[in-house]
Chain A
Amino acid sequence: DSGVTQTPKHLITATGQRVTLRCSPRSGDLSVYWYQQSLDQGLQFLIQYYNGEERAKGNILERFSAQQFPDLHSELNLSSLELGDSALYFCASSVGPGSDYGYTFGSGTRLTVV
Chain B
Amino acid sequence: KNQVEQSPQSLIILEGKNCTLQCNYTVSPFSNLRWYKQDTGRGPVSLTIMTFSENTKSNGRYTATLDADTKQSSLHITASQLSDSASYICVVSADAGNMLTFGGGTRLMVKP
Q: Which residues of A contact B (CB under 8 A)?
A: 2, 4, 42-43, 45, 56, 88, 90, 94, 96-101, 103-108, 110
Contact = CB atoms under 8 A, between A and B. Distances in A.
A43 B32 contact: no
B104 A99 contact: no
- Max count, chain B CB within 10 A of own CB: residue among A4, A90, A100: A100
Interface string B69-101: 000000000000000000001000101111010
Given A42-B89, A43-B102, A100 B97 contact: yes
A45 B100 contact: yes
30 contacts: A4-B43, A42-B89, A42-B102, A42-B103, A42-B105, A43-B44, A43-B89, A45-B100, A56-B98, A88-B41, A90-B44, A96-B97, A97-B98, A98-B95, A98-B96, A98-B98, A99-B93, A99-B98, A99-B100, A100-B31, A100-B32, A100-B97, A101-B97, A105-B36, A105-B43, A105-B45, A107-B42, A108-B41, A108-B43, A110-B41
Contacts of B98: 56, 97-99
Q: How large is the interface on B (under 10, 10 to 19, 20 to 34, 35 or more residues)?
A: 20 to 34
The DSSP consensus for interface residues of chain A is loop
Nearest to B43: A105
B97 A107 contact: no
Nearest to B31: A100
Contacts of B95: 98
Task: Give the one of A4, A90, A103, A106 with max B CB within 10 A.
Answer: A103
